[in-house]
Amino acid sequence: MNKVQTKLIIFAFFLAIGLGIGSFYFSYSNLQSVEQLFNSRQEEKETLFDSLTKLKSSSLLAYAYDYTYWDDMVNLVEKGDDKFAKENIDPSLSTYKANAAWVYRLDFSGVYAVNDLEDEDLKTFPLPTASLKKIFVGSLFPHFYVLTPKGVMEIAGAPIQPSTDVERKSSPRGYFLVGRLWDKAYLDELSTFMAGEVERDATDDTKHEFVSDLKQGIVIFRRELTGFDGKSVDRIHVEVKTPITTVLNKTSTNQFAFQIIGPLSAAILMMAVLFLWVIRPLGLVSKSLEKGDSKFIERLRNSKSEFGQIANMIAKFLEQKTSLEKEVSEHFRAQKELEKQKDELERINKTMIDRELRMVGLKKEIENYKDQLSQKEKKT
């Protein structure tokens, strides 16, 4: 019986371990899925931000491009027609959501400049002439960022060419540069579109890594704003919450805890049930059979389970055994008594036989004596 109990305990133990391992693997897979989903959300948010900034930049690029293959702009460069500039360039700033515009001759001497920021410093382009001359060397339609006293500004440029030059292959007659300030209002607008926070990165550590927070469901990344020479002039820091990953992560974490505690609780409950319903009754049955006493299974006899039936069968068996042992004992006692009486009878019988033999011998002696007397009488 002890071997059976040991096997049941070992079985329950390994079953609990199996459930625990299975639950752990399932929970780990769920966590991996949440991480994959979060990484996917990270990529989506970064792609969304890049697409958003590209889309918003397109109006600035279109501004520079559309206003530069125009004969009137050529005339502005060649004749300095401020009236045309005031009537066409000034109102176009709001149309294209730009903040500043500059018109330059081929030698980069200024023709016209305007901004809606009321900044005298922006009457000239916020780069030295030496740098300004390098802007159009690599590309006829440059797009870059530059630092200004008001903050970082996005710049788009294009060569000024005649209206007939739709393919933009003729020699430039001058240059047109337009700018859009990435101020708090603009960053707030980006934040609204991203449903997060977009702000200038205040840190100077370019090697600092921004790590997204899976537990909080926060996607974090940054973008470098580069100048015409490809060097960073500023950085944008983006944080976006992804509620679905937060919920899934919490759910997965809770599920993970539940699926670890659950199997352990189930194993403990199962072992308790096994002990109460199997191991303990089995131990009582074993002890009852070992001791030959039904008192160990008295409570068990009232149970309607299989162990209750077994207990009643054992109790009946022990009663029959006791009765049989009593009968056997009585039988041996009676047999012993009979053997004792038999021995006594044999002793008495032997005594009587000895007595009869002595009587026969005595009788013969008497007869012999009588014969001797009779002979003596005859002789006399």
Count other Cβ atoms within 10 Å, centred on residue 225: 21
Q: Identify the helix (H) or strand (E) that includes residue 267.
A: helix 243-274
- Reported pTM: 0.62
Distance separating alpha carbons of residues 258 and 30, to the nearest angstrom: 13
- Identity of residue 53: T
Q: Which two tokens stand for residue 278?
A: 């199997």
State the pLDDT at residue 50: 96
State the pLDDT at residue 277: 60
Distance separating alpha carbons of residues 179 and 135, to the nearest angstrom: 14
State the pLDDT at residue 369: 81
Distance separating alpha carbons of residues 73 and 175, to the nearest angstrom: 10
Distance separating alpha carbons of residues 251 and 215, to the nearest angstrom: 11
Which residue in this structure is represented by tokens 């109460």?
276
Q: Is residue 2 over pLDDT 60? A: no
- pLDDT by residue (tens digit) across 115-143? 999 899 999 999 999 999 999 998 999 99
State the pLDDT at residue 327: 80
Q: Identify the helix (H) or strand (E) that includes residue 350.
A: helix 306-379
State the pLDDT at residue 299: 72
Q: How far is CA 170 from CA 80, 255, 380, in A?
A: 21, 68, 206
Q: Which CATH class, in words, describes the domain spanning 29-246? A: alpha beta
Q: How far is CA 204 from CA 21, 146, 358, 375, 376, in A?
A: 47, 17, 145, 170, 171
Q: Which two tokens stand for residue 207?
A: 């090697």
Long-range contacts of 204-212 (CB under 8 A, 24+ apart): 206/232, 206/235, 210/237, 212/38, 212/42
- pLDDT by residue (tens digit) across 77-86? 999 888 999 9
Mean pLDDT of the chain: 82
State the pLDDT at residue 161: 97
- pLDDT by residue (tens digit) across 69-111? 999 999 999 998 889 999 999 999 999 999 999 999 999 999 9
Q: Is residue 172 over pLDDT 80? A: yes
Which whole number is the average pLDDT over 344-364? 83
Residue 153, classed as helix, strand or coil, is: strand
Which whole number is the average pLDDT over 285-302? 69
State the pLDDT at residue 210: 56
Higher pLDDT, 75 or 216: 75
Least Cα distance to 154 among 189, 123, 179 occurs for 179
